[in-house]
Structures are given as structure tokens and as C-alpha cells.
Amino acid sequence: MAEEPKAGASAPDTAGTSGGAAIASAPKLKTRKPKQRACDEKDAKGKLCAGHLKRWYDYPQEIAALIGPAAEIYRCEFCKTLYRPDPAQQPNSYTLRY
């Protein structure tokens, strides 16, 4: 019976530490290179991620506080690195206006 309270006590501790780590770690924010379509982030082994950069429309409030409201932002589909648009390139917002 001594094992049951330990299991119950460790479950809230585990949830508390994982939630605190997720809030404390800010996502990596980079600027896209001209015409860049794939992620150029390397992992611990030096392997290139090469995930497709997708436009991220509905990001959470924590990200909006970091990058600003209604910003054009892209996110890697695999490593979740955030990319700001290339400053030399025209924004992709409202490209299909007539």
C-alpha cells in the first residue's frame, strides 16, 4: 500500500514539471532567407531538419506576445522553429486581392 501514495504523488509532480518546462522554453525565432521554403535548423547530431515552412495563422497568445499581433509568421512542420518573413520579399498577405 505504500506504493500507491508514491505513484499518486509522482503523477502531479511529473505534470507540473512538464508544464513548467513548456512555458519557460521560448520557441526559436529566425528570419527567412530569400525564397527559403525549407527549415535550415540542425539538431544535436548536426542533421538538417529540412521541414517545410508553413504559414501559421492562428498561433497562441504567448507567441502573439513574442512576435506581435497579426504578424506574418511561418513554422517548421517538424521542429516547430518560427520564422519571420524575409524583409526584402513582399508580404504574402493579400496577394490575391482583385
pLDDT 10s per residue in the chain (98 long)? 455 544 444 444 444 444 444 455 788 999 999 999 999 999 999 999 999 999 998 999 999 999 888 888 999 999 999 999 988 887 776 665 55
88 sits in the region (left: phi over 0; alpha: psi -120 to 50; else beta) called: alpha
Q: How many residues does the chain have?
A: 98
Single pTM value for the model: 0.67
User: Residue 80: how many CA atoms within 13 Å on its side-chain side?
Assistant: 5
Taking alpha carbons only, the member of 50, 89, 57 closest to residue 71 is 57
Domain ranges in the chain are 28-84
**Joined grid coordinates for residue 35:** 525564397
Q: What is the DSSP letter of 84?
A: E
What would the grid cell of residue 95 be? 496577394
